[in-house]
Amino acid sequence: MGRRKRVWYPGAIYHVMNRGNRKTNLFKDTSDYLRFLDCIFEAKESYKFTIHALCLMTNHFHIEIETAQTELWKIMRKMLHPYSMDFNHKYNFTGHLFEGRYTACLIEDERYFLEVSRYIHLNPVKARIVNDPRDYEFSSYGMYIGDAGSVKRGSANKLISDLVDTTRVLSYFLHDPQAQYRGFVEEKSSHAEQESQIQKEMKEDDMWLP
């Protein structure tokens, strides 16, 4: 993977991450996860964009997002501000919920695009929340492999399936795309170099894992 320039413009694909201020949780219960997903839907009502992958962790989130003709910062503001206001009101908090501005990296090549998707879907495994990425409820992985895993999917599953477009990622796998994508994500061969690069660019380290 080559070095990617940090150029900000509409009509591009980004890996976006944000986390709780002072390492605090962004989501305290299921209703918080659902409200955040609702905020993404509300943003889509105002701006056109595509989500290729997402994962909502306890204290941070990852989204692989493709913009159209709207700058990324406008989309993210539309997502994050209402959620922050609702969260602070619900829990009687004051101050900033998120740790400043989100982190975003421009995706400019196909291999990196796939590696980011893999990285996002393996986040709950890296955090030792689940052993199998299929078993994490607040992730788009189940949409990709057509398997809900062992968790009982509820409202989050429906919201995520409506939000995430798997077409572009799966188009890179020609024969039985869902099975091939699962093999790509869960294969035993090392992706350490790519994961390290993504982790560095997103300023994510083990201290942010729940």
Q: Mean pLDDT, to the nearest integer, of 44-72? A: 95
pLDDT in tens, 87-144: 999 999 888 899 878 999 999 889 999 999 999 999 999 889 999 999 999 999 999 9
13-195: which CATH topology?
Alpha-Beta Plaits (3.30.70)
Indicate the domain borders of the chain.
13-195
pLDDT in tens, 146-193: 864 445 556 788 899 999 999 999 999 988 999 999 999 998 665 666
Asked if residue 1 has pLDDT above 50, the reply is no
Query: Side by side, which strands form the sheet with 103-107?
Result: 49-56, 60-67, 13-19, 103-107
Calpha distance 168→73 (Å, rounded): 23
Asked if residue 16 has pLDDT above 80, the reply is yes
pLDDT band at 57 (very low <50, low <70, confident <90, very high): very high
The tally of CA atoms less than 13 A away on the side-chain side of residue 204 is 30
199 or 135, greater pLDDT: 135
Helix (H) or strand (E) holding 16: strand 13-19
